[in-house]
Amino acid sequence: MLWSLLFFSLIAPFNTESIQLNGTETSQSSIYEDDNTLKYTSDRAIDGDVKICTNTKQQMNSWWRIDLMGVYRISSIEIFNKASVHSVINGCEIYIGYSPELNRTADLKFETIENFATDIWNTFKGNGNVSGRYITVIYPKEEPLVLCEVKINGTKEESPFVLIQENKTWEEALSHCRAQNMDLASILDANTQTLVGLEAMKATTDFVWLGLGHICILDFWFWVNDHCLTFEYWAPESGTDVCDVSAAMEKNWEHHWHKKNADQQLNFICAK
């Protein structure tokens, strides 16, 4: 009994939560195809089989990426490659970030892979916990990127945002949130932009109202909870600052903001 208590107390600090990767989306820079026309696609890195691997073509800056479909605080990333040609991936860089674009300047480098060993799990802990939605492995050499299995450990960040699947004008949406002791969502940084975007994906309308209103006479944009407009994510063609507009986030892809007539009836996002 004492030994088992001692054993569990010893392993407890290392018992980080393994992130379930079903429901995530993977992609990679290119797909290698062998002589039997077998495609070494990106999902093979998370299929649970260490003998089945992804493989890109031999190109400069090959990459593999996973969209965790949530914001996670990442504590470690584990990679297993069986011994074969191109399976030692020293020099690969692991990035974590919020941008759906491949953007290494916006993403934070988690670790550069060194001393990689085949046929065992290699664990990378980076420089402490880093949060993000996307994890990217980039090989800054003219090499194919091979990954047999990837495991990611961390904890999911609870979202304070909730999508309301009802169609309302901007004013009605604001009243609805406030009647339930919430407010229309404010976005202050890349982290909250990502959390709101994940809610927007569930919408039944192409756009969702945000808590970003416009005072026409002053041409002034304001968050309904009085925060300053320090972070902006307008679409390149977001519309003009005419009167009677408020900001709505697009449901799909990059979740850019658009200026929409405030009388339009859209789903909306409240903040708890």
Residues that bind Ca ion (CB under 5 A): 44, 47, 49, 52, 149
How would you label 59-95 residue by residue, b for 16+ Cβ within 10 Å and e otherwise? eebbbbbbebebbbbbbbbbbbbeeeebbbbeebbbb
Rounded least distance, CB 157 to Ca ion, Å: 27
Cβ 80 to Ca ion shortest distance, Å: 8
- Kindly report the number of other CB atoms within 10 A of residue 151's CB atom: 17
Nearest distance, CB of residue 133 and Ca ion, angstroms: 22
Residue 49 or 241 with smaller CB distance to Ca ion: 49
Task: Output 50 or 117, the one with its CB closest to Ca ion.
Answer: 50
Q: Which is nearer to Ca ion, 44 or 251 (CB)?
A: 44
Compute the least distance from the CB of residue 232 to Ca ion, in Å. Answer: 40
Query: By the 8 A CB rule, do 187 and 193 touch?
Result: yes
For the beta carbon of residue 149, count every other beta carbon within 10 angstroms.
Answer: 21
Least gap, CB of 37 to Ca ion (angstroms): 19
Q: Which is nearer to Ca ion, 149 or 250 (CB)?
A: 149
CB of 26 to Ca ion, least distance (A): 11
Nearer to Ca ion, 147 or 245 (CB): 147
* CB nearer Ca ion, residue 21 or residue 185: 21
Residue 34 amino acid letter: D
**Rounded to the nearest whole angstrom, what is the least distance from the CB of residue 120 to Ca ion in the complex?**
15
d(CA 271, CA 179): 12
Number of Cβ within 10 Å of residue 258's Cβ equals 18
Q: Which amino acid is at 93?
A: E
Amino acid at 264: Q
Q: Which is nearer to Ca ion, 41 or 191 (CB)?
A: 41
> Do the beta carbons of residue 155 and residue 73 sit within 8 Å?
yes
Beta strands in the chain (DSSP E): 25-28, 54-55, 59-80, 93-97, 108-112, 121-124, 130-143, 146-147, 149-156, 161-168, 183-184, 207-209, 212-215, 220-223, 245-250, 257-261, 266-271
Residue corresponding to tokens 């996973």: 66
